[in-house]
Amino acid sequence: VPINLPIEDMLQEGEDVFVQVSKDTIGSKGARVTSYITLPGRHLVLMPGVEHIGVSRKILDEDERTRLKDIISELKPGNFGFIIRTASEGCTEEDLKKDIDYLMLLWENIQKKKEKVGSPYVLYADLDLALRSVRDLLGHEIESLIIDSAEEYRKITEFVNTYFSKLISKIRHYEGTEPIFDAYGIEIEIPKALGKRVWLKSGGYIVIDQTEALTSIDVNTGKFVGKASLEDTIFKTNIEAVKEIAYQIMLRNLGGIIIIDFIDMEKEENRKKLFSVFQEAMRKDRAKCTILEVSELGLIQMTRKRVRESLERILCEPCQYCDGKGFIKSPTTVCYEIFMELRRIGLTRKNSKIMISANPHVADLIYDDEREGIEEIERENGFKIVVKADKSFHQEYYEVATL
């Protein structure tokens, strides 16, 4: 099919199309689908209809890259391509053949189901969260995987025994009496992973702000003053911050455009060191990242592939009080809005009795600090004003009624 052919010439209305969801719905953006199918396994990703073998960029050893590529070239069926995942590093030919057999069986089952059902139909869904985590994350560097659910433990041990039995000794069933999150200190970490401010051991801190357009991360020295020069203090804070920022990006699953505002450093060599440390810290990330060097303003700009919602968007929802803005009008601002409304009423209805209903914070302000203002409006318009505090009112909401 010609690359530049318009899509309306490639597809006809009513035609069945075989697609895969490549990106979930995120916020107001709908899901993204593609006709290029990929099926992930433990060590490999199968690409039907593509004659290509790719190797993860995180496998740095050239000899190992060549070895893995040669093995897959020998094993792969015709008209199929594979991406060799980072987990393949050090794998035997037998390990890789098992993964190919598993993925080919999966593809055959999808094809059989496709022939039997009508559209729309879900032909295949990826593994559930528990098994997907085991497939993608469990490796020799993991000390143990601890599960508190007997059912999930049974399911996971069966899965590991079937596909990578060498790791079965790492699977453990938690039998403690206290909740597993409490036992391993995870519960107290969740609020930290959702907070805007993250403190550093030195006394400095970082501030993380997520918006629809981008995520900004700001570094501050905070309580850290240091004993050496200002440049040295700033450099130490930035180096400590850069490691924490890399951890927070992965922990919170921040995606899209990310702008990091480090404390400005005068020395070019310090900016280069900072960038190098950040690059090294981000090597652990499984998501695809593009990172630009530190600018003269002390900014690092980067993009991180966003496939799923961030931790904050999964665990939280916009505040019903401020509608997700993170701030509301102050009582003083609302008070002055009420005064403007009273003056508008005074243009047409002098000598009226007026009832103001407002949030207690606003009502208290009218009675106290702004009393002179309300009395002045009464004199100018011949009003008799009564203020009623109503706890059910949002701080920004008020009612002004003539009686």
Over residues 364-392, the pLDDT tens digits come to 999 899 999 999 999 999 999 999 999 99
Under 8 Å between Cβ of 115 and 90: no
Under 8 Å between Cβ of 39 and 109: no
Residue-level pLDDT at 202:
85
3-state SS of the chain: helix, strand, coil percent to 5? 40, 20, 40
* Residues 223, 275 within the same domain: yes
d(CA 368, CA 108): 77
pLDDT over threshold 70, residue 150:
yes
pLDDT over threshold 70, residue 228:
no
SS3 label, residue 56 = coil
Q: Residue 88: exposed, middle, or buried by beta-carbon count in 10 A (0-12, 13-18, 19+)?
A: buried
pLDDT tens-digit series, residues 308-362: 788 888 888 888 888 777 789 999 999 999 999 999 999 898 888 999 999 999 9
pLDDT over threshold 90, residue 123:
no
Summarize the confidence of residues 260-269 as an average pLDDT: 90
Summarize the confidence of residues 174-185 as an average pLDDT: 91
Q: Specify the CATH number for the domain of residue 355.
A: 3.40.1260.20
Domain boundary pick from 257, 288, 315: 315
Does residue 1 form part of some domain? no
pLDDT over threshold 90, residue 14:
no
Domain boundary pick from 315, 347, 376: 315
Quick one: pLDDT band at residue 275, thresholds 50, 70, 90?
very high
Does residue 215 form part of some domain? yes
Give the pTM: 0.70
Total tally of structural domains belonging to the chain: 4
Domain boundary pick from 162, 183, 204: 183
* Residues 206, 242 within the same domain: yes
* Residues 385, 343 within the same domain: yes
pLDDT over threshold 60, residue 1:
no
Residue-level pLDDT at 226:
56
Quick one: pLDDT band at residue 285, thresholds 50, 70, 90?
confident
Quick one: pLDDT band at residue 279, thresholds 50, 70, 90?
very high
* Residues 298, 376 within the same domain: no
d(CA 208, CA 249): 10
Strand order of the β-sheet with 39-40 is 39-40, 44-48, 80-84, 53-55
Token readout for 385 is 């004003």
Domain that holds residue 168: 131-183
* Residues 94, 43 within the same domain: yes
